[in-house]
């Protein structure tokens, strides 16, 4: 019974996701999934061959993590359902912040990559 | 060794004790006749003269030594006089005239009248000099010139000038010159100057045996000045006998100079110490050998003043104490009689054993005498002896049981022909006695060593004496001595060395050879190699680089990591990427994208070759268009969305 419940919950979730989520947000979600996958693969590699050179691993991993976080921020800020909390920040403004933060993040990442 | 060290310490302690109670009551030495002859010859061989001071000092020195017949004396005198006279007219300074007048006065009637003829010239120079400045030196010279030439001296004004000059510049040299000047003033109260004597003497530098000032000239002037004042005033000077003796000791350290001026200073001061009526230092000298034996038991001493002459009055010399180096003291208190100035004493009346003895003497004058009385003057004398070996035997005994395995009797001075063989169970024992040749009794010496040699190796042992039987024993325990020998077994040459301070015939006796076998004997390693050589080189190992994973795996994973990008594109297309909306931004969008692309190019270059500073500069440049374009683009999008 429980397995049936889980399956039906998941199915419902996916259904409502497909229908109710705006396209823009779906695009961002896809981007987030991509980032996460990249991070996981990097981590697996490090676990396999060891941490040398450690700085390169950290830089790559932090790039993934940072990008993911910034992506999540963008999603939150551009979600129309959250509009009431972000009255002063338009989606364009959120996107501009997203871009600027990425530029800074990538400067740090490139510096650290060695 | 301990025996020697302790007795040496005792001797030196005894000597120091003797000397420290009375630092220097007797002179350390006196002028010998040889010294006097040497100095006189030196003084007479200074011609031809280069300057006026030379004949002045020569004559002063000769006067101190006293007149005696000398072959070339008259010629010498004439030359000196001629030299002095030749310089009168050309001399216009006070010092030169002082020298000339002193030379003339010394030579007397043969020279003085000629100088007196020029007295008007001399007097004018003197008065000119005294007009300008009246230093102590000028006063001394001018007064001496007047005295030498027999001219009048105004005592009152000279004395006043002396006191003024001393007030201006009170140095030791000036005070000494003040004494010398004041002593020439006829019939005047000189107390003001004479009372300075005690102070001046107190300011001298002092050592346990000498008293001196910073230069020989000053010291000499002080001494001659003090005694000139004493003679003049008829009062004893404020100088103790010890101080006078110490001054004398200082003068005696300067007798070997060849500089005529220094010799004159030494002699003038020595004469003052020798011939004054108040304090005359003296010395007690050993005239016999320092070594006495039963064959020659007499010690002879004499009293002499600094110039080597005996004291003018009769003296008795008493032997106060006789102390052996070991500390045994006798107090003979014997009065010695003088025979032609020599006092004899037979040491063997009061001592019998050989060794180094310290005798202390005291002197007493029959009447009153200016010569310093001695109370405890020490002299060192050695009573020597000769020894020979009495009975001697070498034996080999067992270490544990003490039984004697072998005995070899030895005969000095022959070596033993038998070789003793000792191993680790035995003990080599040597017993011998030393016989004093004269008394035929057993004697002890300071050094009785047994020496064992094998090639370069040499080991010494001390033979100890039994104090009661006076027999020497040397024991070589093969186990305990193994360390000394380095366990080197083999045949060793054995010899006995006998010596002592007072021994007349120290000797080394070659006894023979012994064969020593040590337990755990080592092979002869030869001499240790002490040469310095380079140590083996250390190769530096650089830090090993960590191994990188193989290229296959890294490449695989590079592809894997980039692969989600493909997935992303697929998803985006699937979700519905608004491709047509790309144009919304317009020109600004294009510019924005180009600038952003430029930033990423800068990042790529930063990774490859740029440093942070350059990157920052480029970023600063690029960020302006990026921001502007981005801003405009987003505005357009926003406005188009509404």
pLDDT tens sequence across B157-172: 888 899 999 988 889 9
Distance in angstroms (rounded) separating the CA atoms of residues B339 and B120: 58
The string of pLDDT tens digits covering residues B369-416 is 888 888 888 999 998 888 899 888 888 888 888 788 888 888 888 888
**How far does B617 lie from chain A, in Å, by closest CA?**
13
Q: Is B560 on the interface with A (CB under 8 A)?
A: yes
Give the pLDDT band (50/70/90) at residue B481: confident
Instruction: Please enumerate in sequence order all residues whose Cβ is within 8 A of that of B98, keeping only pairs 6 or more positions apart, or say none.
Output: B141, B144, B145
A110 contacts in chain B (CB < 8 Å): 603-604, 606-607
CB spacing of A37 vs B557 below 8 angstroms = no
Give the pLDDT band (50/70/90) at residue B251: very high
Instruction: Please enumerate in sequence order all residues whose Cβ is within 8 A of that of A76, keeping only pairs 6 or more positions apart, or say none.
Output: A82
State the maximum Cα–Cα separation within chain B, in Å, rounded to a whole number. 152
Give the pLDDT band (50/70/90) at residue B582: low
Q: Model ipTM?
A: 0.85
pLDDT at position B585 is 67
Per the CB < 8 A criterion, the answer to whether B473 and B391 are in contact is: no
pLDDT at position B18 is 44
pLDDT at position B448 is 92
Strands B426-436 and B472-477: antiparallel
Residue B13: pLDDT above 60? no
The string of pLDDT tens digits covering residues B286-342 is 988 888 888 888 889 999 999 988 888 888 888 888 888 888 888 888 888 888 888
CB spacing of B561 vs A26 below 8 angstroms = no
Per the CB < 8 A criterion, the answer to whether B338 and B314 are in contact is: yes
Q: Is B615 on the interface with A (CB under 8 A)?
A: yes
Mean pLDDT of the region B482-496 = 84
CA closest to A49 among chain B residues? B549
The string of pLDDT tens digits covering residues B273-286 is 999 899 999 999 99
Q: Which helix (H) or strand (E) holds B464?
A: strand B464-465
Which of 1-20 (A) contact B at CB < 8 A?
none
Residue B69: pLDDT above 50? no
Q: Is B569 on the interface with A (CB under 8 A)?
A: no
Residue B7: pLDDT above 70? no
Mean pLDDT of the region B31-53 = 89
The string of pLDDT tens digits covering residues A5-63 is 888 999 888 888 888 888 888 888 999 999 999 999 999 888 888 877 889 899 999 99
pLDDT at position B10 is 55
Residue B565: pLDDT above 60? yes
Sign of CA dihedral B463, B464, B467, B469: negative
Give the ranges where B48-111 is alpha helix by DSSP (H).
Answer: 53-65, 73-86, 94-107
Query: Is A30 exposed, middle or buried (CB count within 10 Å of its CB: 0-12, 13-18, 19+)?
Result: buried
CA distances from B354 to B253, B322, B412 (A): 34, 13, 23
**How far does B591 lie from chain A, in Å, by closest CA?**
15
Q: How many CB atoms lie within 10 A of CB B208?
A: 10
Tell me, rounded to whole angstroms, the distance of Cα B83 from its chain centroid.
45
Q: Is B553 on the interface with A (CB under 8 A)?
A: yes
Residue B8: pLDDT above 70? no
Give the pLDDT band (50/70/90) at residue B213: very high
Q: Is A21 on the interface with B (CB under 8 A)?
A: no
pLDDT-above-70 percentage for chain B: 92
Q: Is B635 on the interface with A (CB under 8 A)?
A: yes
CA closest to A50 among chain B residues? B549
B572 contacts in chain A (CB < 8 Å): 27, 30
Residue B622's SS3 state is helix
Residue B503: pLDDT above 50? yes
Distance in angstroms (rounded) separating the CA atoms of residues B558 and B575: 27
Residue B594: pLDDT above 50? yes
CA distances from B4 to B323, B351, B444, B500, B506 (A): 18, 22, 12, 9, 15
CA nearest neighbour of B273 among B250, B253, B257, B256: B250
Which phi and psi (to 5°) does residue B459 adopt? -125, 135
Q: Is B281 on the interface with A (CB under 8 A)?
A: no
The string of pLDDT tens digits covering residues B141-155 is 999 999 988 888 888
The β-bridge partners of B286 are B301
CA distances from B527 to B456, B458, B521, B523 (A): 9, 13, 16, 12
Structure token pair of residue B412: 């000095």
pLDDT at position B496 is 92
Per the CB < 8 A criterion, the answer to whether B266 and B255 are in contact is: yes
pLDDT at position B21 is 44
pLDDT at position B17 is 46
Supply the DSSP string of A3-66, one letter for each residue. Answer: HHHHHHHHHHHHHHHHHHS-HHHHHHHHHHHHHHHHHHHHHHHHHHH-SSSHHHHHHHHHHHHH
Instruction: Please enumerate in sequence order all residues whose Cβ is within 8 A of that of B536, keeping only pairs 6 or more positions apart, or say none.
Output: none
Tell me, rounded to whole angstroms, the distance of Cα A102 from its chain centroid.
12
CA closest to A27 among chain B residues? B572
Comparison of pLDDT for B18 and B223, the residue scoring more: B223
Q: Is A83 on the interface with B (CB under 8 A)?
A: no
Instruction: Please enumerate in sequence order all residues whose Cβ is within 8 A of that of B640, keeping only pairs 6 or more positions apart, or say none.
Output: B584
pLDDT at position B20 is 43
Mean pLDDT of the region B543-558 = 80
Structure token pair of residue B459: 């080991």
pLDDT-above-90 percentage for chain B: 25
CB spacing of A34 vs B567 below 8 angstroms = yes
Structure token pair of residue B488: 């080197």
pLDDT at position B15 is 52
Q: How many CB atoms lie within 10 A of CB B365?
A: 17
pLDDT at position B414 is 83
CA nearest neighbour of B27 among B318, B470, B453, B374: B374
Q: Is B552 on the interface with A (CB under 8 A)?
A: no
Average pLDDT, chain B: 85
pLDDT at position B243 is 92
Mean pLDDT of the region B79-108 = 88
Residue B246: pLDDT above 90? yes
The string of pLDDT tens digits covering residues B341-359 is 889 888 888 888 888 899 9
Instruction: Please enumerate in sequence order all residues whose Cβ is within 8 A of that of B418, keeping only pairs 6 or more positions apart, or say none.
Output: B408, B512
Residue B22: pLDDT above 60? no
């Amino acid at each position: 019974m429980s397995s049936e419940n889980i399956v039906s919950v998941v199915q419902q979730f996916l259904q409502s996701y497909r229908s109710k989520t705006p396209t823009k947000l779906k695009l961002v979600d896809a981007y987030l999934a991509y980032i996460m996958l990249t991070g996981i693969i990097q981590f697996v590699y490090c676990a396999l061959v060891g941490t040398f050179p450690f700085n390169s691993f950290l830089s790559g991993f932090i790039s993934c993590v940072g990008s993911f976080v910034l992506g999540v921020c963008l999603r939150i800020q551009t979600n129309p359902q959250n509009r009431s909390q972000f009255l002063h920040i338009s989606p364009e403004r959120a996107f501009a912040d997203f871009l600027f933060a990425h530029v800074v993040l990538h400067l740090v990442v490139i510096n650290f990559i060695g | 060794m301990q025996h020697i060290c302790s007795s040496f310490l005792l001797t030196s302690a005894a000597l120091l004790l003797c000397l420290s109670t009375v630092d220097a009551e007797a002179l350390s030495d006196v002028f010998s006749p040889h010294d006097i002859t040497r100095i006189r010859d030196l003084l007479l061989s200074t011609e031809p003269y280069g300057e006026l001071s030379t004949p002045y000092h020569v004559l002063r020195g000769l006067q101190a030594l006293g007149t005696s017949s000398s072959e070339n004396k008259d010629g010498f005198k004439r030359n000196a006089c001629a030299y002095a006279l030749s310089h009168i007219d050309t001399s216009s300074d006070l010092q030169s005239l002082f020298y000339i007048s002193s030379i003339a006065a010394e030579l007397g009637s043969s020279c003085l009248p000629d100088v007196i003829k020029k007295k008007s010239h001399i007097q004018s120079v003197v008065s000119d000099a005294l007009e300008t400045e009246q230093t102590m030196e000028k006063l001394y010279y001018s007064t001496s010139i007047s005295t030498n030439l027999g001219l009048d001296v105004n005592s009152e004004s000279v004395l006043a000038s002396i006191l003024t000059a001393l007030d201006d510049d009170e140095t030791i040299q000036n005070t000494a010159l003040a004494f010398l000047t004041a002593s020439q003033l006829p019939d005047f109260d000189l107390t003001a100057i004479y009372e300075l004597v005690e102070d001046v003497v107190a300011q001298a530098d002092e050592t346990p045996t000498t008293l001196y000032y910073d230069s020989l000239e000053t010291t000499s002037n002080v001494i001659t000045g003090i005694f000139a004042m004493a003679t003049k005033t008829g009062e004893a000077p404020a100088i103790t006998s010890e101080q006078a003796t110490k001054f004398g000791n200082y003068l005696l350290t300067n007798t070997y100079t060849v500089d005529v001026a220094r010799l004159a200073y030494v002699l003038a001061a020595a004469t003052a110490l020798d011939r004054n009526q108040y304090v005359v230092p003296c010395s007690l000298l050993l005239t016999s050998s320092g070594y006495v034996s039963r064959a020659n038991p007499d010690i002879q001493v004499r009293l002499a003043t600094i110039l080597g002459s005996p004291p003018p009055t009769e003296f008795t010399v008493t032997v106060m104490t006789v102390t052996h180096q070991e500390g045994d003291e006798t107090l003979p208190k014997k009065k010695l009689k003088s025979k032609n100035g020599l006092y004899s004493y037979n040491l063997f009346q009061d001592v019998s054993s050989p060794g180094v003895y310290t005798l202390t003497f005291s002197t007493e004058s029959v009447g009153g005498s200016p010569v310093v009385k001695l109370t405890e003057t020490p002299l060192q004398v050695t009573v020597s002896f000769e020894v020979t070996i009495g009975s001697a035997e070498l034996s080999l005994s067992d270490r544990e049981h003490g039984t004697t395995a072998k005995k070899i009797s030895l005969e000095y001075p022959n070596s033993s022909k038998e070789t003793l063989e000792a191993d680790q169970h035995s003990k080599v024992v040597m017993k011998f006695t030393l016989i004093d040749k004269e008394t035929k009794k057993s004697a002890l010496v300071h050094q009785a060593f047994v020496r064992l040699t094998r090639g370069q190796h040499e080991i010494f042992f001390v033979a100890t004496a039994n104090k009661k039987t006076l027999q020497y024993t040397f024991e070589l325990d093969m186990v305990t001595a193994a360390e000394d020998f380095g366990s080197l077994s083999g045949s060793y040459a054995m010899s006995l060395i006998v010596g002592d301070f007072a021994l007349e015939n120290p000797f080394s006796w070659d006894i023979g050879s012994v064969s020593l076998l040590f337990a755990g004997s080592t092979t002869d390693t030869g001499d240790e190699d002490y040469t310095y050589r380079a140590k083996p080189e250390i190769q530096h190992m650089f830090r090993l680089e960590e191994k990188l994973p193989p290229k296959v795996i890294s490449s695989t994973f590079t592809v894997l990591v980039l692969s989600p990008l493909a997935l992303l594109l697929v998803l985006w297309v699937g979700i519905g990427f608004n491709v047509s909306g790309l144009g919304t931004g317009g020109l600004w969008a294009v510019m924005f994208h180009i600038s952003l692309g430029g930033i990423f190019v800068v990042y790529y270059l930063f990774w490859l070759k740029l440093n942070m500073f350059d990157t920052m500069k480029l970023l600063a440049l690029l960020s302006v268009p990026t921001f502007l374009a981005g801003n405009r683009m987003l505005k357009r999008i926003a406005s188009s969305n509404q």
